[in-house]
Amino acid sequence: MPDTYPIVGIKDGLGPNGARPLRYEINKFVDPKYNPYAKDQLNLFLLALEKIQAMSPSERLSWFQIGGIHGQPYVDWDGSKGIKPEKGQWEGYCTHASILFPTWHRLYVALIEQAVHECMKKVLAEFPQDKQAALKPAVDHWRYPYWDWALVKPGTTELVVPELLRLEKIDVQRPNGVTQKIDNPMYRYQFPLNAQGQIEGFTGGPPYTETPFTVRHPAPWDESESIKTQKTWYEGLSDNAAVQTSLNDVSGLAGRQLVAGVYQLFAMFRSYAPFSNVSWSGPGNPGDYSSIEALHNSVHVIIGGRTQGHMSIVNFAGFDPAFWMHHGNVERQLAIFQALNPADYKDWPNDPWLRNTVNPWFDGVSQTDSRGTWTRPPSTAESANSLLTPFHKDTNGTVYDSDGCRYFANFGYAFEELQDWLPKYRDASGKFNTPLYCQDIRKALSEEYGWSLPTQHAISRLPRAVEEPSVAEVAAEDFVLPQGIVPQAVQDRQYNEYVVNVLVDRFANNGETFVVDLFLGEVPDDVRSWETANKLGMVAIFGGTQYASGNCANCANQASNPETRLVTGQVTITTTLLDLIEAKKKVGGEVLGSLDKDEVAQFLKKNMHWRIAKIGNTELPLSEVPSLKVSVAVATATLPTEEGEFVDYGDFELIDEPTVGRTGGYDSRTDEV
């Protein structure tokens, strides 16, 4: 048996006292104001991506093989043998609706980072000898950039698809010094096709077995036409303008709901298990319905589109170059959660933040994964010791578990908010100041995301926008300060925070991706307009497609406990309600006048509606999804008194009035959520 591939991280560029190169947000990665190696790293990165994407699909570290770990073509990777699939078993390696979701994907991103870096070193060796020494620091300090999809464009509250994902062509400088325009390897990936025009090993039929490229928001697939007559699929023409619209309109007014959701993820979750994934653990705190995975799921569908682009389909998502920048951000969110809820939290009993940490890691907690993976049967109990196949620690076949990858610093990277080696965090004796470190992280997160909250509007906090410097070095526009809204909504530093929760069987659409859409006002007749019209928010259930084979599409028939198939999602709606109050906008013929609980309950009862859209833009009738429970919850939120503190969200309580007696709605007399 050949040696297994050890995922150990990049060891080049490490500095004293634990200093590590940063994984930059993509807009800062290409900006010399933030990244001193920006120009050279961008060029080397593109050349390395071009090289890895052109590798033979038979090579272990090719783009095709690494992307295929997530789903199709359902083959063994690096010696991690699959088991004979049981009925309903997922045939990819990836973990979803699983307590292993964050750690498995941590290693997956570390793998692509390491593989691309190896290609970058090969690119460096192609440059003339006198150029190599000058470029080597850029190679040593490179780490895979991520896309923070919750940061806004300067001067606006608009969320932006990075230019590096939008450009179909891009200039690179070859090692011989010649500037050449190439197909942008971040725009799409070109699949290797065999002599029959098929992707070797893919099953299930067109479009995915035949399309030459990954695509985002393609035109709807027409089964009656050949692939060659369907331009967006055959030529790989992504509609990134539609991604942009989806990113903002689906996320709520001016994208604020998605931004506020990220803020609340860090402010509200103090225990790893509910933070980590969408699986429902039974009746409990209605505030726990969000998770790092729930936000991740929505962004997958936002990028891929409801017309079945690759990012919207779990079987094929790993091939889209956007996947890695998206999951780089998911990894960053995990790292931030760990920093805010550290292992040594009990050493600081007098710190008001740290003393409220509940459970910063697995610490004996396990969950049952209803669907299994390529190497694990359905209904398996998963814990910190579960093997994260197919990822190895060494050349001898030792497989990682979650404890083995708990500390991201061991893999040789850091993030801007998490520079724990800075001198200010250690006293004269060398002891690390965990409270100060956590306080600085909270300050940074409040600047990045806190502006989206009604509380921040009320006290005129301002957003810190990320600049998006053009790859062509176009200057960023000036930033325009937003105005505070509805300050009277906050009384004695308190206000009512509202969320809409969704509980549903993840296999309600036979294992395929679907979306629970929330509306304020009339629901449009045309499902294709649900993505934007009268939108209150969405909860995406990330799954497969009818055009992909594998047991994922038959998961509804598996013999597992129905309760282990239930998943959750959450939409924060307070900012939307406040915008309606401020604008005095009529919905359903009436104007919402305040955040009073009774008034909001009656307003939502009359005007809030929900529907389920299948991937492919057809409706799944609510009557066919008995597991669906949509509920509304409210908490008293208290403003911080000091900079660097989060809003304090009290306990959420459920409100019956908006949902009782409605199909798919929560009723306290009969339901437990």
- Summary mean pLDDT of the chain: 89
The helix or strand, by DSSP H or E, that contains position 382, with its residue range, turns out to be strand 380-382
Parallel, antiparallel, or unpaired: how do β-strands 387-392 and 399-401 relate?
antiparallel
Check: CB of residue 325 under 8 Å from CB of residue 398: no
Closest CA to 20 of 34, 9, 29: 9
pLDDT at 2: 73
Q: What is the mean pLDDT of residues 109-134?
A: 97
pTM score: 0.94
pLDDT > 90? residue 262:
yes
The tens digit of pLDDT for each residue in 265-289 reads: 999 999 999 999 999 988 878 999 9
CA distance 315 to 297: 14
Rounded to 5, what percent of the chain is helix, strand, coil? Answer: 35, 15, 50
Reported as a pLDDT band with limits 50, 70 and 90, residue 546 is confident
pLDDT at 241: 93
The tens digit of pLDDT for each residue in 440-477 reads: 999 999 989 987 776 554 443 334 455 555 444 322 23
pLDDT > 70? residue 307:
yes
Check: CB of residue 667 under 8 Å from CB of residue 660: yes
The tens digit of pLDDT for each residue in 16-48 reads: 999 999 999 999 999 999 999 999 999 999 999
Q: Rounded to 5 degrees, what are φ and ψ at 414?
A: -150, 180
Could you tell me what percent of the chain has a pLDDT over 90? 74
pLDDT > 90? residue 249:
no
10 Å Cβ neighbour count for 475? 8
pLDDT at 100: 97
C-alpha distances (whole Å) from 375 to each of 78, 388, 564 are 13, 9, 19
Check: CB of residue 339 under 8 Å from CB of residue 353: no
pLDDT at 85: 66
Average the pLDDT over each of 332-341, 429-438, 456-465 and give the range with the smallest value.
Answer: 456-465
**Residue ranges of the alpha helices (H) in 189-343?**
231-234, 240-249, 256-268, 272-276, 292-304, 322-340
The tens digit of pLDDT for each residue in 154-178 reads: 777 789 999 999 999 999 999 999 9
